[in-house]
Chain A
Amino acid sequence: MNRFLLPLAAFVLLLAVLLVGLKRAPEKSILPSPLIGKAAPHFTLPNLFDTTQPVTTAALQGHWSLVNVWGTWCVECRAEHEVLLQIKQQARVPIVGIDWKDKDEDALSWLAQLGNPYERVGTDRDGRVAIDWGVYGAPETFLISPAGTVVYKHIGAMTLEVWQREFLPRVGASASPGA
């Protein structure tokens, strides 16, 4: 009997390892951000709408906010745009847009055509701020706490389901519309 015990144990162990791997496989393509739990990386970006007033990390202080990295060249961004507009309508968490590697005129006409879900939009033309935020593909959406800490990051198009499942519970009842 003893001679079957060891192979059986090894088999069960292997089975467990493979099962865990199989279950976690979908998460593997989504990389955890090292920024979670840290202060939002500082930035100062030209304002898409008002060249005299730059968009800075100060816009994220004192209230919950979303930072959405997008570009008019990004197909998924178009797919999530409707959802961002709905989030804006809920008026719970203001969205700061980072327009990544784009052209001002393209971004302006996109927002004029599809509606503007953003409280303000900073333009990251050389992609430096995106690198500081660890962005590797648009769209990416960060949840920033009132203290200016990165609480959550969603990679890929935002959906209402993700918004309700991952974002709203974190914001909780404490959310108040930004200034």
Chain B
Amino acid sequence: MKPSGRVRAPAQLCAALLYAGLLWASLAAAIDATPPLPDPLLQQRYYQLTHELRCMQCQSEALADSSVSLAADLRLQVRELLLAGQSDDQIRDHMVARYGEFILFRPRMTWRNAWLWAAPTLMMVLGCVVAWRILRARARLVDAEQPGSNGDSLLP
């Protein structure tokens, strides 16, 4: 039951064109349509901040990528705070004071979450200890089975 290539081709072509069109449209219509800030450096910081602050309504999106009105309001606020001369940290604090640490995509290290930051290192140390113990036990097993093979063996 092989479908005829001649029949399928137009449908596939249409689908491909439609897909390409949608892709192009999504790239062309940026969500944040506001004009860039006067100073390129400020614009750079604006870009950075709106990409590392979370849209609280659609929690896996950044402010910059979200089309909901709250995200637009928060982007406006970031813009105003930048123009008012606030530092990146001041703006982050401003947002955290209202929405909590969750608004930061990159959580900050505090005493409360320090153990989480340390966890990978701890896990690695633990893994090394376990691996070392297993290897040592195996080596002993080999020694015990072949007493003659190892001159250091304490076994008679």
Please state if A137 and B57 are interface contacts (CB–CB under 8 Å).
Answer: yes
With an 8 A cutoff between CB atoms, is B97 at the interface? yes
Given contacts A127-B70, A131-B74, A136-B70, contact A34 B99 (CB under 8 A): yes
With a cutoff of 8 Å between Cβ atoms, the chain A residues found around residue B73 in the complex are 126-128, 130-131
Using CB atoms, name the residue of chain A closest to B80: A128
Please state if B99 and A136 are interface contacts (CB–CB under 8 Å).
Answer: yes
With a cutoff of 8 Å between Cβ atoms, the chain A residues found around residue B96 in the complex are 34
Supplied contacts A34-B97, A35-B98, A137-B56, 12 more A-B pairs, CB within 8 Å: A31-B102, A33-B100, A34-B98, A34-B99, A34-B100, A41-B98, A127-B69, A127-B70, A132-B98, A134-B99, A137-B57, A137-B70
Please state if A32 and B100 are interface contacts (CB–CB under 8 Å).
Answer: yes
How many angstroms from the CA of A126 to the CA of B69 in the assembled complex?
10
Measured CB to CB, the residues of A under 8 A from B are 31-35, 41, 101, 126-128, 130-134, 136-137
With a cutoff of 8 Å between Cβ atoms, the chain B residues found around residue A127 in the complex are 69-70, 73
Partner of A134 from B57, B69, B77, B100 at Cβ < 8 Å: B100
With a cutoff of 8 Å between Cβ atoms, the chain A residues found around residue B97 in the complex are 34
How many angstroms from the CA of A134 to the CA of B98 in the assembled complex?
5
Highest count of chain A CB atoms <10 Å: which of B57, B73, B74, B96: B73
Please state if B57 and A101 are interface contacts (CB–CB under 8 Å).
Answer: no
How many angstroms from the CA of A94 to the CA of B77 in the assembled complex?
31
Closest 9 A/B residue pairs (Cβ):
A136-B56, A134-B98, A127-B73, A34-B100, A134-B99, A136-B57, A31-B102, A137-B57, A31-B100
Mask, B80-102, CB within 8 Å of A = 1, is: 00000000000000001111101
